[in-house]
Structure 1
Amino acid sequence: MKKIKNIFIEGPISPSFVAESIAKHTVKTNIGGHSIFLGQIREEMINDQKIQSMEFTAYQEMALQKAHDIREEIISKYKLICAHIYHSLGNIKIGEICFFVFTSAEHRKEAISACDEMVDRIKKEIPLWGKEILEDQSHTWKENR
């Protein structure tokens, strides 16, 4: 059985982390295509107030197991060479990256389809919650849309 990877990063996911992840794959010469999804906190209005940040929490033990299962299923289904999932915990400001999915396959269509399915399943199935922090420091719980 494969070791369960920690998908969580405290704070925002930096652009340099994304770049380093991409760079590490240049030695894998059997890869023909990558697909990357980057989720970022967008500025929205709720009850006439701007969202300032999002605070993420998770039931980590269950979330890590479920993310592992999703990852393994998708690797097998799409015959991926690599698949990586990272999600932020803690307070993430608007404009910052909070979610990073990276899939690699021999061909682009498999990488793209796998990435799309992985993002959808993680948003639906992982016990992860986002609290939208508003200008007046009040909050509302985010619903995935």
Structure 2
Amino acid sequence: MTDKKKIKNIFHRGPIKASLIVQQVESHSTKTTIGAHEMFLGQVRADVINDRTVTAIEYTAYEDMALEKMHEIREAIFNKYPLTCLHVFHSLGRVATGQLCLFVFASAAHRRAAIDGCTEVVERIKAELPVWGKEIFDNEQHQWKVNQ
């Protein structure tokens, strides 16, 4: 596969802020060929595991490998769906429960392409990117959890 687009850095230190989401949506208002946007927002849950409550997740990644893989995924999605835009932001570092850790934003002329493209990107991120989340518990004990 030939690279059509530059590798984009999807990683964002800390939680994804609402202002970033608003900025992304607003920046697309001048793109009048777009008729649909689809978003996925991943949020850290306060899971209870073995009577311990998750208070945060510490995200790490093999960044270069993950960015290369995300580039491959992005190119495959653009080849499969008639998307106008596709933006991905994934947290690195500590993200507290209730905060956002993943933001995927797909735009297209029609809703079906935006919905399907966004859904497939989220599933592939979860399955294929070398990103890990270490759960931080209320009693400070840790447990590794892959792609969360």
TM-score range, shorter chain: over 0.9
Q: Does 1:89 align with 2:98?
A: no
Q: Does 1:50 align with 2:53?
A: yes
Listed as ranges, the matches of 1:1-145 within 5 Å are: 1=3, 2-143=5-146
Per-residue CA distance 1:74-97 (angstroms, 9 max, x = gap): 012111000011100000000000
Q: Percent identity, aligned pairs only?
A: 52
What TM-score, normalized to structure 1? 0.97
What TM-score, normalized to structure 2? 0.95
SS at match of 1:56: strand
Per-residue CA distance 1:83-113 (angstroms, 9 max, x = gap): 0111000000000000000000110011000
Partner Cα separation in structure 1 for residue 147 and residue 92 of structure 2 = 16
| Per-residue deviation, 1:142 | 1.5
Q: Identify unmatched segments of 5+ residues in structure 2.
A: none
Partner Cα separation in structure 1 for residue 80 and residue 109 of structure 2 = 13
Q: How much is the aligned-residue C-alpha RMSD, in angstroms? A: 1.1
Greater CA drift, 135-144 or 19-28: 135-144
